[in-house]
Structure formats: structure tokens, C-alpha cells
Chains A and B, each alone.
Chain A
Amino acid sequence: MLLFVAAMGKAQDQSGSSPGKVAIPAEGKKVYEQICQACHMADAKGSGSAGGIPALANNPRLADPKYPITMLQKGRGGMPWFTDLLTPAQMAAVVTYVRSHFNNYPDPVTEADVKKLATKPPVSEGCECTE
């Protein structure tokens, strides 16, 4: 599925480039590497000095898959929501990967699990369109 994120009309500074063809892969490992790793780091151990970015590795909060799913859908603190970048299938894939690869929770999370918890996604100011 091709995902467009057009950030038109936002007051914030932006590149002005055309709607991204920056394709995000379907595979959970790849989603982690191309999205999550930016903040949670390659080893999922987080990092921090002034504040800190939480570790996803060996994190007992991930025992309940609802927790990471909700974080992806709503964001919290410094972490934004990812409803405008990731599909439910990609969310399921990456949650499955993080829970099984960096933790010992091997039970897979499905797209249906994600959709079940779907709430009205946050809408960035201006028109942030997802198609």
C-alpha cells in the first residue's frame, strides 16, 4: 500500500517537497529500522541525558500488546502518534517484531488487534492527508 503524507497548510516550516514516495516496508523488522530506531536506537535500549527515550528492549510494559498499540495510535509525551505514517498492518508487524525480538513475548499481534483498538486518529493542524 502506498502511503502519502502531504503536509500542506501546516504553519510549521517544511521542505515543500511533493507528497512522500518515501515508502515504508511491510516487514516488522524494516519498520523498526526505518521508523522506531530513530529514537529508540538500533538496540531498542533507548537513550538519554537531559531527558531520555525509553527502552523497548526488556520492557515489561510490552507484555500487554495493547500498550504499544495505543502508543503508536495516540503517542504520549515526546512520542508522536503514527497513524499518519503507518498502516494497521505495519503497526501490527512492528509491534510483533519489538515484542518478540527485543522481548520474550512471541505471540503475534494482528492487524485485527490493531484495528480493534483504533480510536479517532489525531489530526495534525492544517491538512495532513493520508491516502
Chain B
Amino acid sequence: MAEITSPSRRALLTMIGKVGGTAAMYQAMTALAHAADSRFTGPPALGGARQGASVLVLGAGLAGMVAAYELTKAGYKVQILEYQNRPGGRNYSVRGGDKVVEIDGTTQNCGFAPGNYLNPGPWRIPHHHRTLLHYCKQFGVELEPFIQLNHNSFVHNSNAFGGKPQRYKELAVDFKGHVAELLGKALNAGALDQKVTKEDKEKLLEAMREWGVLDKDMAYSSNLKASDQRGFARAPGGGVEGVPLPSTVNGLVDVLSSHIWTQLNFFDSNVMQTTMFQPKGGMDMIGKGFARQVGKMIRYNTKVTRIAQDETGVTANWTDTATGGTGEAKADWCVCTIPLPVLSQLDVQIGAPLKAAIKAVPYGGQVKMGLEFRRRFWEEDDHIYGGHSFTDQAIGLISYPNHNYFGDGPAVLLGAFANDAGAYQLTGMTPAQRIEAALTQGAVFHPAQYRKEFMNGVSFPWSRIPWIMGCTSRWTDQSRATHYQNLVAMDGRFVLAGEHASYYGGWMEGSLLSGLDAITRLHQKALAA
């Protein structure tokens, strides 16, 4: 009798993919407990383009460049028009000598020392953003760890602890301890006897004692057991005076007022979980990696003024912002990655549903700031190596550099990552006022050193950045329902791509997934035409 072998998982998936398409394969992969964290199964295998077929790509950000790269591989002739004088779009790093020019002409000259930088846009990469990681590896972009969770950083809440920042580990352990103690009390009082069996009650009590580092009386108290997690008043030492002394735990009321669960939750969210990465030398290494592949196709300083299409192709009129010259670019198809706040004001020959969708998605305006200090006092004095100190002030947080630890000389930390009201407040200021606000607010964490060691700083107010006038797309449940499919659908020979055309808004992964999806559909339509 012939032995029946089960197909290998890979063979099975390939078979399902052939029969049912990508969606079925993805579903099957998820069912096989694989790949549930990413849609990426490898770059698209587009196959041969029609002889001489061409695509015009508008925008040399990640969406545009991944589209250009894969389309070229498939045999298309590709040209990219880019408004700025560099590739990458929001994938960008500001270094010493760079200018930040705002929409009204306000100009900042970045004064950072060589090797220092601010990543004003994307700055951290989740380990499951596999499309981005794939291209980083392929293009030789070296990644290093991005320290996301640092137990030794600070949490500041204006209404807690008299406005004095606390170490994350102290608040996190105290919160856990008090919650465990309360649940233990509820269990012992019989309050949950209707909900749990006697056996599970015993297990829960054991769990609360261990997880909450409670004492023998099921109380969360100041002792060496709690100090093992939250830190000691006197750390363990050697020799005669080696014995450690316990730290004093905070009371429940103070811990609650700190809102520490916000940070606990933050670190639990899927896109914030460790391991996270950053490119060595600055985030723009990724844009530069793509540009090494497609740079020859890019026309820089090229402002698109009008986009028209008919049954034979697409025409974009442009103005050269350096020379003032004008011209037009023609191709069979067009992938447009121009940010929606800009695109919505252009003359584009498209149908009403797409036009309405383009006008339906506003952008959030965030602010990031880079502050350069004479020395790494956060490391030297406060023993913080990477990670974030959070605050409820406008700046949102300060974040410590993840490279060149223990280095001498100037270092740059992220002095603000402001959202919502805080971002509007800071954006409305002059650059000097922003730096002053960042110093005042950030000094709560390092009062003795912050102003003393400060050298210079640069702010990046996304709402005032002329080529985008915002940071990332903001969708609502309503706008998704009404406009999303219209936004991503091909309109004749024209298709949009970018983070705004994804469910991964504001992440580079969304830009890449959108770009790959757009060209896959474009290619199918081109072959069918």
C-alpha cells in the first residue's frame, strides 16, 4: 500500500494560494498560526509588463519608491516626480547644516554636531512590520534596537506626586501591587465566590501574592520583595554593608493619580511592543536605501500642478521649483502618493467619488523637537539608556537616544512628540518659543541639567511643513465606511498610494503595503486593457 504523505505546510499554502488567491492563502496562514501579525508574504510577483508600458509615480516617499522599484522589476518604464530636493518624504532625518523651512518662510538652521540627528517623522519600527524589514534587509539598511520600554525612565503627571516625576518601574509595580492586594481582599471577603470555584479562588490568591509581590498577609508593603521589582532605597552591595534596604511603596491614591495604566496599556499595544528597531545613523537611511535602487528615475524640485488622463494615458504638468521651468510628464498609468492636504488642492481629472474621498481625510499635526546637550546627563546622572519619559504637558514625552551610549560630546534627545492640543499649541509658536517651551517642560525630568547643558534645538511642526501641511491621515469609522474604498480604487489610469490609503495610518508599513497593493491592481488592469 502506498504511503500517503501530508503535504508540507509551504506546499499546502502555495496550493491554497493558487486556487483561492492571496486572501485565501492569508486566511489559511492565520489558521495555521502563522503570519497573523503581517499581511506581507513577500514582494509581489507581477510578471511581465506589456512591451513599452509606462508608469508615472508622483512622490518619492516610501510608497512611491516601492511602487517604482517593483514596477521596474516587472518591466515597466517608470518616472518619479518629487516636490522636494531629496527622496524619502516623511522618512527623513534632520542633521547639522540642514534647514527646516515652514510654510510662511520661517527657517531654522539645525546646529547639531556631526553624527547627531532628529527623526521628525517615523522613528521606530515594530518587529512585525515585515514589509519594511524585508526592504531594509534587501537594500542593506542596517537596523539597531530602538529602546521602547525602559523601566528606569520617568512618568510625570502634573496632578500626581506634587508634579514630581516618578520612575516607571516604581509606579508600574505599585499599581500592580495595589490591584493584586485589592483583588486578594475581594476574594478573601467572599465577594467573588459566585464567580470562581474554590480551586480557582486558591489559584487566584496564589497568583495575586506572587504577581503583586504581596507579603504573607496579602498586603502590598514596603519590603525587599517589592523592592526586588521597584528598586531599593539602598541597593544590594558587597562586604560588610552589603545588605540592601527596601524602598517605600507609594499609596494607592497617589498611584491612581499618576494614570500609570496609560503607559502600561501603551506598551501593550501591538505596534508598540518590543522588539522595535531604528536604522543606524538616522531614519532617512531607509529612503536613501530605496533611492539607491530608483534614484535615477526621480526628477527632484518638481511641483505637480495639474493631472489629466484620457483613455490612452496620464499627463502631469509640473513646475521646476529651482529653475521656474515647466514641463509635462506622460505615461500609460499613474501612481499618485501626493499627501491629501496638497492633492485636494490640485486640479486632477478624476471622478467625483475619488475627489470626495481625497477631501474627506484631514491630517493630524504633530510636533517633534530635537534638543542637543553637551553631555549625556540622562545616562551619566540618571542611568537612563534609551526609552521615553512621559509627561502630560504639551511636549508629550522626551525620548533618549538609542545609540552611542556612554559617548562623550554632544548628544541629541527627542525633546517633544506632541499630539492633539499640545501639537497645536507648539506649532503656533515661533521656533524660539517652541524650544523655550520644550526646555521648560522637559526640565521637570532633569531640573539640574536641562538648561545648563542645552546647546541648540530644532522643531518640526508638521502642520506648517509646506509639502504636506500635516503629519498623518486621520480616518474615522464614518469616513472609512463612506470613502475608503473610493480612495483606494483605480480611477481610470490613476491610483493613489500612501499611508492614507491603508489601515496602517502613519506607519511606513502602511505606505509600503498600500504601494504594493496599488501596483498589483494597476498591473492586472494594464494586462487586461
Contact = CB atoms under 8 A, between A and B. Distances in A.
Contact of A51 (B124, B342, B390, B474): B342
Interface residues of B, number: 72
Interface string A92-113: 0000000000000000000000
A63 to B, nearest CB: 23
A33 B472 contact: no
Contacts of A22: 392-394, 420-422, 425
A80 B424 contact: no
Contacts of A13: 122-124, 271, 472, 506-507
A15 B390 contact: yes
B67 interface: no
Contacts of B365: 38-39
27 contacts: A3-B421, A8-B262, A9-B269, A13-B123, A15-B388, A16-B272, A20-B420, A20-B421, A21-B159, A22-B422, A34-B421, A34-B425, A36-B424, A36-B428, A38-B423, A38-B424, A38-B428, A47-B104, A48-B469, A50-B83, A52-B345, A75-B362, A76-B359, A79-B362, A85-B424, A123-B478, A124-B474
B475 interface: yes
A51 B464 CA distance: 11
Contacts, number: 175
Contacts of A49: 103, 466
B303 A18 contact: no
A14 to B, nearest CB: 6
A50 to B, nearest CB: 5
Nearest to A53: B469
B425 A78 contact: no
B496 interface: no
B247 interface: no
Interface of A: 3, 5-9, 11-22, 24, 33-39, 41-42, 47-53, 75-81, 84-85, 122-125
B181 to A, nearest CB: 23
A123 B238 CA distance: 57
A7 B122 contact: no
A17 B467 contact: no
A9 B346 CA distance: 33
Contact of B262 (A17, A21, A84): A17
B392 A20 contact: yes
